[in-house]
Copies of this chain bind each other. A is one copy, B any other.
């Protein structure tokens, strides 16, 4: 049996997405900037995709810009806000994705901003009081960068409240929403955000296709300069099939959100209960009670030499899970997220993350394997 429980790292393509992409790969080879028929039909595909994304977020067409990754989107938002909106202070949290953290640190090392990281409780929650105090503190132009939901531990930040605080204190608000899109509804008319990023490969779409939502009141110039693509906001010939795949994946994730959610929660709850009833000393990382990312189950096994090899032993048994986030697993460092909420905790964490394709049978197989390895 092959089990893929690493859906927070990336997901397999939905069949419908693959079908649409293949058609585009075969037929729509025109350059969307060309004025002839082949160019115009490629352009039409992109604009249809833009409408899908805009509708899904309750945003305007003119607020959606396609990029190559959420990492690029986040670089664009943070760097251009600093360079062109006179942002001199960024308030963030140590549990952000590396593409946000490292970009903030780079800007800070260049002495362009003051970087402030909020303190967190052991579940990764920020304190709204601390954020309020910081926003009241001075009149520097501030950007708050906080992710919607955390990719390693699943904790969701109180985004409506953060948005409100930013508005009250004239701070810009950037939100990395890659793990939340397609899992929870996001209505940008109800929650005011300046910059929001999303990516296809977390929602059963292709890698290399992402977007940045940019509030029409917070326009920044392009991060990648050149041709007039994306209404002069992001140069480079468009990845049409990727963009079409992104839109299809996003559309399906909204249409089937409740069905998928029920399936995922059933599998996650079953696995969580199985673990609780099998392994006495095991705990779970991140918020487990109030709203959290229901596709993520971060399990802390007590430290032992055996447990330290757990992720590799699962892999030998064809079970794909993650020690932390995929993006940092190449580096041999521990998880910066766990270090931020549970410093010096020797536990061995395995993140299992689920899709609507996963089954109870797969959980049974993983549980059997865990018992074999750990007993």
A binding-site residues for B, Cβ under 8 Å: 4, 6, 9-13, 18, 21-22, 25-26, 29-31, 33-39, 67-72, 74-75, 97-100, 102-103, 106, 199, 201, 206-209, 224-229, 235-242, 311-312, 314-315, 318-323, 326-331
Contacts and interface: CB of A to CB of B under 8 A. Distances in A.
A75 B224 contact: yes
A295 B36 CA distance: 19
9 contacts: A12-B29, A13-B25, A36-B321, A37-B315, A39-B326, A75-B225, A208-B239, A235-B327, A242-B242
B68 A208 contact: yes
A329 B34 contact: yes
A34 B102 contact: no
B72 A237 contact: no
A12 B35 CA distance: 17
Contacts of A6: 30-31, 34, 36, 38-39
Contact of A30 (B99, B106, B199, B320): B320
A75 B34 contact: no
A224 B30 contact: no
A33 B320 CA distance: 12
B34 A225 contact: no
A329 B235 contact: no
A224 B25 contact: no
Name the 4 nearest CB pairs between A and B, nearest first.
A208-B239, A99-B226, A227-B327, A68-B68
A33 B106 contact: no
B34 A326 contact: yes
Nearest to A40: B315
Given A34-B9, A35-B329, A103 B322 contact: no
A208 B22 CA distance: 15
A241 B4 CA distance: 20
Contacts of A328: 33, 227-228
Given A25-B13, A68-B208, A207-B239, A33 B326 contact: yes
Contacts of A38: 4, 6, 320
A8 B239 CA distance: 17
Contact of A226 (B34, B97, B227, B241): B97
Contacts of A227: 71, 97-99, 327-328, 330
A35 B321 CA distance: 9
A327 B35 contact: no
A13 B33 contact: no
A35 B68 contact: no
Contacts of A318: 37
A37 B314 CA distance: 10
A36 B320 contact: yes
A102 B33 CA distance: 17
A31 B224 CA distance: 25
Contacts of A331: 228
Nearest to A238: B207
A29 B9 contact: no
